[in-house]
Structure 1
Amino acid sequence: MAELPARAAVVGCGVIGAAWAARMRLRSVDVAVYDPSPTASEVLDAVMADAVLAWAALGLATDQVGSLTIVDSIAEAVDGAGLVQESVPERIDIKHSTLAAIDDVAPLNALIASSTSGYQPSDLATAMNHPERFVVAHPFNPVYLLPLVEVVGGVQTSLGTIDRAMDTYRALGMHPLHVRKEIDAFIADRLLEAVWREALWLVNDGIATTEEIDDAIRFGFGLRWAQMGTFETYRIAGGEGGMRHFMAQFGPALKWPWTKLMDTPELTDELIDTIADQSDAQAGDRSIRDLAQERDRNLVAILSALESVGAGAGQTLAQLREPQQPSRHKHVKMLR
């Protein structure tokens, strides 16, 4: 496993940035954080507490974590950092100004990455003087539990930077997926977008409620997706003839007008109210924090089960248990 950076910076600490900080610290990396929000400290503490609980439930070490320092500027955050993870809001102007500021003051050998869920790295890198060291590293929430990170280089990103990014995120206990061609929303979000569009239509047309749609996923194909992807699942569905038989049997159905993947229902006030009201009813008296902790408990159980059979993300969890290089830290507090 590649060597971890001794120090990392996280710029922008909403839910994603705070979860990045938690994963880094749990891998014994010292983290400096910059976020002008007055609630950043509270978010960092809450997310770290949830991350520690989740890792402890997985049987992973939580007694030696990296330090956390909240600073007042980007320059202070990136000082001495080997990895800088930008996680500011998804607005191109904010991304450009933030990345330009990071690029101006970060050490020349620092790997700079954006957590963007949709912008192409070449578009983001136009604000930078050193775009060769920049990648998109798109994670999934909660970052401290879900191992996938999509690594995407721009036209000016060096091959060495791609290799270094893959090694760095692997050392953080993740499963880096190199997206070889730039495309809006990369791979996973394009798949999620297709499901999301269809779900909106099903609510819009009065076919199903938010709870019924979620039930269709969690009691059905969602369980398959946790351990085996779409193509392997459909290969099995093809019987002894495999994927070729499946395509021959079900391929013609793709021409049937079942879905509306290229259209989106108009987000009228009425549709928004319907979705929000149904979602409120579905959540009942569970707060957002309650739901997040329920999600984490479920993911811990799923990851543990997958590890026991050596499948899917369970393989990444098993790798996290491999001996780490001696920590640079004594027993420090798990929270700030």
Structure 2
Amino acid sequence: MPEITPAPCAPEDVRRVACIGAGVIGGGWVAHFLARGYDVTAWDPAADAEDRLRRLVAAAWPALEQIGLADGAAPDRLTIAPTLAEAVADADFVQESAPEKLELKRSLLAELAAATRPGVVIASSTSGYPMTDMQEGAENAVRLVVGHPFNPPYLIPLVEVVGGERTDPEAVAWSSRFYEVAGKSVITMDRELPGFIANRLQEALWREALHMVANGEATVEDIDASITEGPGLRWAFMGPCLTFALAGGEGGMAHMLDHFGPSLKSPWTRLEAPELDRALRDAMIDGCREAAGDRTYADLVAARDQGVIDVLRATGRLGRTRR
């Protein structure tokens, strides 16, 4: 594999970030980078993209002010470029957040690799595609990496970083360091895994939730409450593995496995996804509508953002990132 062209600057010296795609995830990245004091150039082909993006940043800014802005951070450091090429022309880092369609990702990443200055790393926000699959057809694919965030990127610290078969390891290392400097909590994966780490765990819970709704075993409200009032409280500061280790008392994980191991054979979970037929789709939509009540989308976003801030503050992690 050819080595990556040396990056134009060190991760600590990045000044301008280009965000390609300005939907929920791309817009969340824009808000995050602005709050960290970067100049941000955004591009999205949708006719109403600029209006939607500026509304998203304005809605996110009160939460970002609570957690603390970098010196010089301001929404007016956002520029909307008329073309993709102009968006990346002077970027020190590129974050791609296009819709989750493989052929679209391939063509867009190939276009970005051709338009971006040599050595500038291009990261994809993909939630499941391996970079190896997305690199096909791209020239200079050595600087293409996955930088998978969690929604909303301006509040949830986690980003999972991994390269593809054609990615230079130096690009992965550079990206991980940049995200750390930009205030993220980084997991640098040493191999590709469909869905990465966090999404695979989240997907297992999601599939079981769909099964319970499809079979009439629990309502949407029951399922959400079972997490927010139960294990979710522990997961906010301790992952499932250490949580289960504590269930083993002083004997730790060894005792827990010896004691509860046989239950792994019990029919508690069904990891195969259920058929998403009309009835299940309607049940999920109606259940979420009932759970939301008279709260608007903006109301729910504000409640979610405040909840994340409260948990981060309560667990001593506000402003702290994982190293």
Partner-residue secondary structure (3-state), 1:146? coil
Which stretch shifts more, 14-23 or 4-13?
A: 4-13
Counterpart in 2 of 1:329? none
Q: What is the TM-score with the length of structure 1 in the denominator?
A: 0.89
Residue type matched to 1:193 in 2? E
Counterpart in 2 of 1:102? 112
1:321-332 matches, cutoff 5 A: none
1:21-170 matches, cutoff 5 A: 21-61=30-70, 64-65=73-74, 67-170=77-180
Q: Cα offset for 1:2?
A: 5.0
Q: What CA distance in whole angstroms lies between the structure 2 residues aligned with 1:191 and 1:129? A: 34
Q: Is the 8 A contact 2:35 2:69 kept in 1?
A: no
Partner-residue secondary structure (3-state), 2:244? helix
Relative to structure 1, the CA distance from residue 39 to residue 158 in structure 2 (aligned partners, 3 Å threshold; closer, same or farther) is same
Relative to structure 1, the CA distance from residue 319 to residue 231 in structure 2 (aligned partners, 3 Å threshold; closer, same or farther) is closer
CA RMSD in angstroms comes to 1.6
Aligned length: 312
Residue type matched to 2:12 in 1? E
Relative to structure 1, the CA distance from residue 76 to residue 318 in structure 2 (aligned partners, 3 Å threshold; closer, same or farther) is same
Question: What's the CA shift string for 1:240-295, capped at 9, x where partnerless?
Answer: 1011111111111111111101x222111111111111111111111111111110
Percent of aligned pairs with the same amino acid: 43
Q: Is the 8 A contact 1:52 1:62 kept in 2?
A: no
Counterpart in 2 of 1:183? 193
Q: Is the 8 A contact 1:4 1:29 kept in 2?
A: no
Q: Cα offset for 1:65?
A: 3.0
Unmatched tracts of structure 2, length 5 or more: 1-9
Unmatched tracts of structure 1, length 5 or more: 308-313, 321-336
Counterpart in 2 of 1:323? none
Residue type matched to 2:35 in 1? L
Partner-residue secondary structure (3-state), 1:259? coil
Which stretch shifts more, 53-62 or 114-123?
A: 53-62
Counterpart in 2 of 1:330? none
Q: What CA distance in whole angstroms lies between the structure 1 residues aligned with 2:293 and 2:71? A: 33
Q: Given the alignment, which residue of 256, 260, 271 partners 2:270?
A: 260
Q: What CA distance in whole angstroms lies between the structure 2 residues aligned with 1:28 and 1:197? A: 39
Partner-residue secondary structure (3-state), 2:57? helix
Q: Cα offset for 1:46?
A: 2.1
Counterpart in 2 of 1:317? 319
